[in-house]
Amino acid sequence: MNDITAAITAIRKELGPRLCIMGHHYQHDTVIRHCDITGDSLELARQAAGIAADHIVFCGVYFMGESAALLAKAGQRVYLPEPDADCMMALMAQPRLACTVLETLRAGGRKVIPLAYVNTTLALKAVVGEYGGAVCTSANARIMLRWALQEADSVLFLPDKHLGRNTGRQLGLTPDDWHILRCNGRGLIEPEKQPLDRPLLLWPGCCAIHAKLKTGDVQAMRSAWPGCRVVAHPECHPDLIELCDGSGSTSFLIGEAARIAQESPGSTLIVGTEENLVQRLAQRHAAACHILPLGHNAVCPHMAKVTEAKLLDTLSSIVSGQFAPGTGPVQLEEAHCPPARQSLLRMLDICGR
């Protein structure tokens, strides 16, 4: 045990039940080993609302800390070991632009409901709540999109066009049922020339990490590992997902690795998602099966900003009560909180929490 690990362990023991460390599956193993709760976006959102600890340290990107703070109880404080850990996809959907686009889409009297991937900022979640929409995760996107389609003439799915199309396909929609919006910083580009009456309207954003994975990677792995099973996260391009044997959320991928290890020992599983998770699964099931990442260098640079040393700095500051500028508890803009909270709670309620 190195000095940093030992120091974190000592502080966790000192704070006891007053501290809860949460970590997303994409975090490095040196961080995950200190977490009391790990999960994907859905599981962490569910767990955050029920935590009793005074101090919640969230090892993940900024919007995840915002969501935890939004669901926190009075008196609880949420901290991020790296406040500058952002999400490139979340930054692709600016709140003011989303408002402008929604107003244009609704101008003709059609009911348009926004459905936002949880990978979005508090301000965007607030816009979604104000327009009667909800958030979703990759684990419950099908449930939430089905709900939204029943509630509206059209659904604006943002910001991930790939997850939107992959989920639409699961519900039986075809390319004739959706449209990727063409817009710039001022709003829709020539809206009169776009098929805005389609049931599924898609924001032109995506995850830059999953976008690195290509159809050629699937073909190359199948050639190198005959008989392998290939699964991928639905943030990948639909053409890639079509070549896979299965796709699903981070929790699905974890479960699939466990299933293959138990039911098909000695086989090979190729997993298309962020590599920290794939490497962890490979180590966990090394004795039973062979797990390999699809493609190369699919590592989220923002998730990687959270390190064991920064986690120690945060815990030390909690104990001392002294924080460096910009490293204290997550502060939320109050005006955004009620509608943003509504968008999250609507998801939890529809999915039965």
Give the residue numbers spanning the domain of 78.
3-85+302-322
Q: Does residue 342 sit within a domain?
A: no
98 CB contacts (<8 Å, ≥6 apart)?
Answer: 114, 124, 127, 158, 203
Number of CB atoms found within 10 A of residue 16's CB: 8
Q: What 3-state DSSP class applies to 258?
A: helix
Residues 134 and 150 grouped into a single domain = yes
Residues 236, 214 contacting (CB under 8 angstroms)? no
Residues 97 and 141 grouped into a single domain = yes
Residues 118 and 182 grouped into a single domain = yes
CATH of the domain at 173: 3.40.50
Number of CB atoms found within 10 A of residue 296's CB: 10
Residue 148 CA to residue 200 CA, distance in Å, equals 10
Residues 30, 282 contacting (CB under 8 angstroms)? no
Residue pointed to by tokens 């997902």: 241
Q: What 3-state DSSP class applies to 324?
A: coil
Q: Does residue 327 sit within a domain?
A: no
Residuewise pLDDT in 10s, the chain (353 residues): 689 999 999 999 999 999 999 999 888 899 999 999 998 776 787 787 789 999 999 999 988 888 889 888 888 999 999 988 888 898 899 999 999 999 999 998 999 999 999 889 999 999 999 999 999 999 899 999 999 999 999 999 999 999 999 999 999 999 999 999 999 999 999 999 999 999 999 999 999 999 999 999 999 999 999 999 999 999 999 999 999 999 999 889 999 999 999 999 999 999 999 998 899 999 999 999 999 999 888 888 888 899 999 999 999 999 999 988 878 899 999 999 999 999 988 998 998 85
Residue pointed to by tokens 């500051």: 317
Q: Would the pTM count as exceeding 0.85?
A: yes
Q: What 3-state DSSP class applies to 76?
A: coil
Overall number of domains in the chain: 3
Residue 344 CA to residue 210 CA, distance in Å, equals 24
